[in-house]
Chains A and B, each alone.
Chain A
């Protein structure tokens, strides 16, 4: 248990980051704000992966690789999401996600 003590701190940090990201996504009306929330969530997860790769013998390689995957994916996600936001802005002259409700049932 002691061995994992440092891990607990990282996990708490990751949970904090994740929660912040989710709250940010759930509260922001600005699309950029939502994107930032997403980044926070992803990075929260990343902190988890890295922490486990450092402190848990079973996940030394896996944690690193997943962290890398998440970074790559986050980059791709940011690129696509920004493109969507730009286009959305071109069409609606706003980035307020609440106005994007054409697909509502």
Chain B
């Protein structure tokens, strides 16, 4: 076990494993209780153990175990985060120095022999100066080596890996390193994962705390489920308090492991674990048909995405031979300088770009390719070299030959470009499923069947963000085509979801659609080059969406499980803390200046603006998020006004509504504070200077982003006024949204119902969620069912018929065979026996038992024999 000070990255590993420990503990105890339950009545020992472990229904013990483990994990993460920030700054400086040195010392080679000659001419003139220069050079070299050493040591501090499974290639194949042979479990902390760790553990801790209150109903010996009707009235069951916290712990472990992973495979494993936790928690009230259907829907929809993910994984594994992110990226993206001088090219491709080439001709010696931006293959570069060990550089202008597979450049490879696109699209499809993007967005609103804290933790703040996280993480793997797809999918999603959110009346469904919409924003940002913006929005959104969901949970709990906003109204007086904290969340999501959402959303819009300025044909990618910003504001304020202001719509609900206990309001207050300030920086009025955004931008943003979106980034940097302009535009749109909400739902100047009647078609269209469910039902579910029925019919008639026919034929053959057996085989044996019997029976008459007759027989027999002998001898001719 390495020392923590030598490997501080282990803090994050510890934080990941703590919830797993909690889960294991809870699972073991639950298993023992389950095993002992039948014997508790009979054996006093079993009864004592059973009672000691919680008895029939656990108390709050499981909650404390889960909360304790996640809170400890949070502490580890905070320590690790601070530590990492210090190291990251140090590493950034070192990296800068190293690059500077390398750039300087690579210079002379570039200019070739001409400059060398010139130098030779000057030689005798200043011997002393030259000596001095040599000394300075040696000093710089020492310093450089030390820097490289420090840098590599610091990098090593924050990563590690365990060998998990290895396949050994066949003997003839040992030299073939192209194919993967090793799966590892590893971690690599960068700023993105460090920040995500803190965010996930903090929100998870608060939601655990909230759940202690929210799930208290499950503490009872029998819980009455009002939504399940049986023949004997409502359905009664045992409380499931412990199970809930067990699942939450497993979920936390899976999510943290997903962030921790340094390779795609580990992410995939966690991805599935997260999916199964989501399934278990959506179906927490599985006796309700709607809940079990929603759980199935979520799981199956995610399977569609995961199929794509697996295709992506297979392509990556086949062509890159590894799942490790750093290795994949260094192989798919061009290095800044080339070690072996093997790429001899007309023009040096930009570092960190995907280099395409055209297959020229295939010779016996190897494959010759020509670099070509429309080529059919992409180059795979040699494995990553440790920084600083790079003596060479790109060769200057030279002959037309490009790369070939000579032994020297053995590690260069090619991947068909379309396969690289498919790999990117496949991985993105996985993200589409998990992050509920169009066209797989249908599962998330249904997932609201789970308990509200689950909706907050999984279906708003963390799990659905995993898709966005993975897109951000895999960014260098994506080709421009894939990025454009991501942007458009994000754009469509954010608009579709926001439009549906305008008409929904279930308070949780409004938030669900707003989540889908906000995830669309993040995807869009990643697709248009706003890497930092998208991931910053992921972080800020996690806080305010968790806040909003917990707020809605508080409202639902306070109103005794009433979720319909048409039955609420005027609750502000009853639940002031909930109302005020939710207002903070609404302001944050709407993008009110100085609230966290403003910083990230502004950045997204700016990035989208830059992209559509440089690619005018894609102006929709700016228009959609801009319009949707207004829609977002409208539906969020609509929700808040409908819930907390105006006249109470339902007296019964209003009369019994009350503020929730402190365990539930405390998380709300803490989340509200973070929702306001998490993205602050100095100066606060400039979204560019958000501290968190700056951290992500400097320490985590892949260099590839700036290369891929060079034009749009240069445009934005060149004209700072664009920022202001886009910001103002966004604020104007937001103001319009607020105005509409005020007019319709606060001052009641216009009756919302009348407004709806003006556009009945549109309203119906939105109320049916753009008919996605109906479409899928008609396109996939119903044909699936028909196909299943057809298969079932085929099974009954053809397969069963065939089986029955075979059985009948067998019976007939057996019957005939039986006849033969009885008649011929048995008959012959019996006949033999009968003959023997009758012969024996006749012979026994000879055994008279009289001595005299025996003597007579003897005498007669002797005489007969003698006479026979005599006759024989006579016949033979002699006396």
Instruction: Give A residues with C-beta under 8 Å from B.
Output: 22, 25-29, 34, 97-98, 100-101, 103-105
Contacts and interface: CB of A to CB of B under 8 A. Distances in A.
A34 B851 contact: yes
A28 B855 CA distance: 11
A104 B849 contact: yes
Given A22-B859, A26-B856, A26-B859, A98 B844 contact: no
Contact of A101 (B849, B855, B856, B859): B849
Nearest to A34: B851
Contacts of B847: 104-105
Contacts of B119: none
A22 B855 contact: yes
B164 interface: no
B609 to A, nearest CB: 123
A22 to B, nearest CB: 5
Can you list the 3 inter-chain pairs with the closest CB atoms, starting with the nearest? Answer: A101-B849, A104-B849, A105-B847
Interface string B327-369: 0000000000000000000000000000000000000000000
Given A25-B855, A26-B856, A97-B852, 17 more contacts: A22-B859, A25-B851, A26-B852, A26-B855, A26-B859, A27-B852, A29-B852, A34-B851, A98-B849, A98-B851, A100-B849, A100-B851, A101-B849, A101-B850, A104-B847, A104-B848, A105-B844
Contact of A97 (B844, B851, B856, B859): B851
A103 B848 CA distance: 10
A101 B854 CA distance: 12
B855 A98 contact: no
Contacts of A105: 844, 847
B680 to A, nearest CB: 122
A2 to B, nearest CB: 18
A100 B848 CA distance: 11
Contacts of B856: 26
A34 B851 CA distance: 9
Interface string B841-879: 000100111111001100100000000000000000000
A98 B850 contact: yes
16 contacts: A22-B859, A25-B852, A25-B855, A26-B852, A29-B852, A97-B850, A98-B849, A100-B849, A100-B851, A101-B848, A101-B849, A101-B850, A103-B849, A104-B848, A104-B849, A105-B847
A26 B857 CA distance: 10
Interface of B: 844, 847-852, 855-856, 859
Interface centre among A22, A26, A98 (most CB of B within 10 A): A26
A71 B826 CA distance: 58
Contacts of A29: 852
Contacts of B859: 22, 26
A26 B852 CA distance: 4
Nearest to B862: A22
Contacts of B844: 105
A64 B851 CA distance: 32
B178 to A, nearest CB: 94
A26 B844 CA distance: 20
Contacts of A100: 849, 851
Interface centre among B847, B848, B849, B855 (most CB of A within 10 A): B855
Contacts of A28: 852
Interface centre among B844, B852, B856 (most CB of A within 10 A): B852
Contacts of A97: 850-852
A55 to B, nearest CB: 19
A19 to B, nearest CB: 9
B321 to A, nearest CB: 93
A22 B859 CA distance: 7
A101 B851 CA distance: 9
A76 B855 CA distance: 21
Contacts of B850: 97-98, 101
Contacts of A104: 847-849
A103 B841 CA distance: 16
Nearest to B857: A26
Nearest to A96: B851
Nearest to B856: A26
Nearest to B852: A26
A59 to B, nearest CB: 19
Contacts of B851: 25, 34, 97-98, 100
A73 B552 CA distance: 128
Nearest to B846: A105
A98 B854 CA distance: 11
Nearest to B853: A26
A34 B855 CA distance: 10
B841 to A, nearest CB: 10
A86 B850 CA distance: 19
A98 B850 CA distance: 5
Interface centre among A22, A29, A34, A100 (most CB of B within 10 A): A22
Contacts of A103: 849
A28 to B, nearest CB: 8
A97 B850 CA distance: 7
A1 to B, nearest CB: 13
Nearest to A38: B855
A28 B856 CA distance: 12
A27 B856 CA distance: 9
B16 to A, nearest CB: 96
Contacts of B852: 25-29, 97-98
A29 B851 CA distance: 8
Contacts of A26: 852, 855-856, 859
A61 B391 CA distance: 130
Nearest to B843: A105
A27 B852 CA distance: 6
